[in-house]
Amino acid sequence: MTASQQTASQTWLIRNVRPAGGPATDLILSEGRITETGSGLTAPGAQVLDGTGLIALPGLVDLHTHLREPGREDAETVLTGTQAAALGGYTAVHAMANTEPVADTAGVVEQIWRLGRQAGYCDVQPVGAVTVGLEGSRLAELGAMADSAARVRIFSDDGRCVSDAVLMRRALEYVKAFGGVIAQHAQEPRLTEGAQLNEGEMSGLLGLAGWPAVAEEAIIARDCLLTAHVGSALHVCHVSTAGSVEIIRWAKSKGWRVTAEVTPHHLLLTDELAASYDPVYKVNPPLRTAADVAALRAGLADGTIDCVATDHAPHAVEDKETEWHVAAFGMTGLETALRVVHAAMVETGLLDWAQVADRMSVRPAAIGQLDGTAIGAAGQSLSAALHGRPLTAGSPANLVLYDPAARSVVDPAQHASRSRNTPFAGMDLPGQVIATFLRGEPVVLDGKLAR
């Protein structure tokens, strides 16, 4: 299905909404685009939505989502994962490659891409594996995945680190030819054998095997140097330590093409939560210290860390609600990400709403090449399938309406995700997603799925 076939015919008039938290205005959405902005607009026959008190942001873009299909449909499917994404205000998600089978061929990435189009709640952009079967021994068909209908631009073995320096160099060299990006899960494997929790006071107190910050930082430093050497592009997944922020700040100061993401959970939670031995707090990379959280927030605020990415990692109950040592690593995050960023970054005065739009839509769309700036050779027009565009006339009508004055306790039973492993359950968080529009069509209205 093409973007134009999905374009809604219904015209919407959104009254009195504040784009990126700025002055209130009306928006008219028609034929998949924002056709007009201004005050006192009229649109005969249009559906009217009163946006008084609401903020409008460009539809959020996630660079890091685990949709689990194919292979672990008991934990999540493309349908339930994209429903969760829409409820969280996302209009595009990048689906990580560690499915069963692994997304390491053109066939598998095209299958995932098509499932996303069929679900219709949110665009699904597959991430391709760097190595065959995520086994870290030989490069996957990067070029074939890039040339496929899924037009893969980000490659990652996420869940595993491309630890072999020669292989990492070859991957960076290979994707340079077509402007691709290698997204690294930075985890030195030998330094993290059996690791369970951030190495520090808490891991010692709880008797859990430590996961040292240096295991992340050593790989990031190496990869920044490799990227500079090759002249290619590196994206660092889920930065979790203060030292990592420093290394990335240094690499950027050199002008190297390094970008980075931080998860909502690493912006709000610390390793002290593990004192309960509740595996809902078990995640890779692990929750770190309050000093790391402060450095991550400062890095996101000053732009060293480009964007927020959820690392939404749904797990079936039997894999997660078990003993800490055997429980799976990972947390869900799509439905709470914007609210957590609101609490960690906006309520603390570190970001305003225009900057939230930048860190959760504009920059991730640019890194994933969903914003249209890299289109041309592929022959794609400036279509309504683009994301991360400003909320001005002519832009695709991909947007979220958010009530910043709302507040409620997170109830995972109300989530669309098939899994329930959210560390924010029971937490009182600000804000509520009221509506999400994908190409002018409401996929979420009144905070609920619209169809």
Residues marked as catalytic:
311
Closest approach, Cβ 156 to Zn ion, in A, equals 8
| Burial (Cβ within 10 Å: 0-12, 13-18, ≥19) of residue 137 | exposed
Residue 158 or 306 having the CB closest to Zn ion: 158
Residue 21 or 101 having the CB closest to Zn ion: 101
Give every CB contact of residue 349 below 8 A, 6+ residues apart in sequence.
Answer: none
* Segment interacting with Zn ion (CB under 5 A) among 116-124, 305-313, 353-361, 421-429: 305-313
Closest approach, Cβ 301 to Zn ion, in A, equals 23
Is residue 257 within 8 A of residue 224, CB to CB? The reply is no
* Residue among 335, 421, 431 nearest 88 (CA): 335
Closest approach, Cβ 311 to Zn ion, in A, equals 4
Closest approach, Cβ 229 to Zn ion, in A, equals 24
Residue 191 or 382 having the CB closest to Zn ion: 191
Q: Which residues ranging from 404 to 443 are in contact with Zn ion (CB under 5 A)? A: none
* Segment interacting with Zn ion (CB under 5 A) among 152-160, 163-171, 174-182, 264-272: 152-160
* Segment interacting with Zn ion (CB under 5 A) among 55-63, 156-164, 272-280, 406-414: 156-164
Cα angle for residues 180, 182, 186 (degrees, 5° grid):
170
Closest approach, Cβ 181 to Zn ion, in A, equals 15
Is residue 308 within 8 A of residue 336, CB to CB? The reply is no
Residue 217 or 311 having the CB closest to Zn ion: 311
* Binding track over 318-357 against Zn ion, x by CB under 5 A: ----------------------------------------
Residue 97 or 399 having the CB closest to Zn ion: 97
Candidates 158, 292, 335, 358: give the one binding Zn ion (CB under 5 A).
158
Closest approach, Cβ 117 to Zn ion, in A, equals 23
Closest approach, Cβ 384 to Zn ion, in A, equals 29
Residue 286 or 372 having the CB closest to Zn ion: 286
How many whole angstroms separate alpha carbon 16 and alpha carbon 353?
A: 17
* Residue with the CB atom nearest Zn ion in the bound state: 185
Q: Which residues ranging from 220 to 249 are in contact with Zn ion (CB under 5 A)? A: none
CA distances from 161 to 156, 358, 406 (A): 9, 28, 40
Is residue 387 within 8 A of residue 60, CB to CB? The reply is no
Cα angle for residues 166, 167, 172 (degrees, 5° grid):
100
* Binding track over 167-206 against Zn ion, x by CB under 5 A: ------------------x---------------------
* Segment interacting with Zn ion (CB under 5 A) among 128-136, 287-295, 309-317, 441-449: 309-317
| Burial (Cβ within 10 Å: 0-12, 13-18, ≥19) of residue 416 | buried
Closest approach, Cβ 285 to Zn ion, in A, equals 7
Residue 14 or 300 having the CB closest to Zn ion: 300
CA distances from 147 to 17, 153, 154 (A): 40, 10, 13
DSSP states of 238-276: S--SHHHHHHHHHHHHTT--EEEEE-HHHHH--GGGGGG
How far from each other are the two terminal CA atoms of the chain, in whole angstroms? 18
Is residue 288 within 8 A of residue 270, CB to CB? The reply is yes
Element (H, E) at 92: strand 90-95
**Bridge partners (DSSP) listed for residue 74:** none
How many whole angstroms separate alpha carbon 132 and alpha carbon 129?
A: 7
Residue 292 or 311 having the CB closest to Zn ion: 311
Residue 157 or 199 having the CB closest to Zn ion: 157
* Segment interacting with Zn ion (CB under 5 A) among 54-62, 105-113, 117-125, 153-161: 153-161
Closest approach, Cβ 328 to Zn ion, in A, equals 12
DSSP states of 396-438: B--EEEEEEEEEEE--GGG-SSS----TTTT-EEEEEEEEEEE
157 near Zn ion (CB under 5 A): no
Size of the site for Zn ion (CB under 5 A): 3
How many whole angstroms separate alpha carbon 445 and alpha carbon 451?
A: 9
311 near Zn ion (CB under 5 A): yes
72 near Zn ion (CB under 5 A): no
Contact positions toward Zn ion, by CB under 5 A? Answer: 158, 185, 311
